[in-house]
Amino acid sequence: MNINKEIIISYQEFDSTETLSTTEQLLIQKANEIRNNSYSPYSNFKVGAAILFDDGSITTGSNQENAAFPSGLCAERVALFYANSQFPTKKIIQIAIIGGYKNETTDTPITPCGSCRQVLIESESRQSSPIELLLVGEKKIWKISTAKALLPLSFSSNNLTSN
């Protein structure tokens, strides 16, 4: 038997931060500010990520490159791993991600790489609630209600159970 199935992803698109909440505007500002701490001498592509916790506090991370390229780490994972190690009982509500070459922001939002998507989904699973994403570009902002939307057929702990 052959069954065709379909996966549909929906998201909101904004053309400026003006229609976002003040908290979301602050989160984007923090993600943009932390880009200055990016260590990206090889690609010159600076990325910042800011995480909003359920208590209203914010933590951040920036990408960190290494001459041995696989040894670097994306901004999203820097922020998520720090959040999970330092604040394991706090729930992550939202993450803002912004990037571009040097101090320029890309026109359209950048999206997390596959590894970052998997870590975002693991964080959602760990806290049993979705993490909303704000993907920020100079001309567009995308709001996605859950990381699972970016990687709908993801690997999970269910794959590790024996039959």
Residue 123 sits in a domain whose CATH number is: 3.40.140.10
The model's confidence at residue 103, banded by pLDDT at 50, 70 and 90, is confident
Rounded to an integer, the average pLDDT of 34-48 is 97
Query: In the prediction, which pLDDT does 153 show?
Result: 85
pLDDT on residue 31: 98
Q: Report if residue 2 sits inside a domain.
A: no
Q: Is 76 a catalytic residue?
A: yes
Q: Residue 91 in contact with residue 52, Cβ under 8 Å? A: no
Residue 119's pLDDT is: 97
What residues contact 155, with CB distance under 8 A and at least 6 apart?
A: 118
Domain assignment of residue 94, given as a range: 12-151
Angle (CA) 96-147-114 rounded to 5° is 95
* Residues forming beta bridges with residue 142, ordered by sequence position: 13, 135
| Beta strands in the chain, from DSSP E residues, in sequence order | 12-14, 45-53, 58-62, 92-101, 132-136, 141-144
- Of 76, 104, 124, 132, which one is the catalytic site residue? 76
Confidence of residue 52 (pLDDT cuts 50, 70, 90): very high
Matching residue, tokens 């698109």: 13
> 86 in a domain, yes or no?
yes
Is 34 within the bounds of a domain?
yes
Task: Grade residue 102 by pLDDT with cuts at 50, 70 and 90.
Answer: confident
Per-residue model confidence (pLDDT) at position 69: 84
Do the bridges between strand 132-136 and strand 58-62 make them parallel or antiparallel, or are there none, so unpaired? unpaired
Number of domains in the chain: 1
What percentage of residues in the chain have a pLDDT greater than 90? Answer: 90
Give yes or no for residue 162 having a pLDDT over 80.
no
Is 163 among the domain residues? Answer: no
Q: For residues 131 and 79, is the Cβ–Cβ distance under 8 A?
A: no
Per-residue buried b or exposed e for 6-21, using 16+ beta carbons within 10 Å of the residue's own CB: eeeeeeeeeeebeebe
pLDDT at 163: 61
Residue 98 DSSP class? E
* Averaged pLDDT score across all residues of the chain: 95
pLDDT at 137: 98
Q: What confidence category does residue 33 fall into, taking pLDDT thresholds of 50, 70 and 90?
A: very high
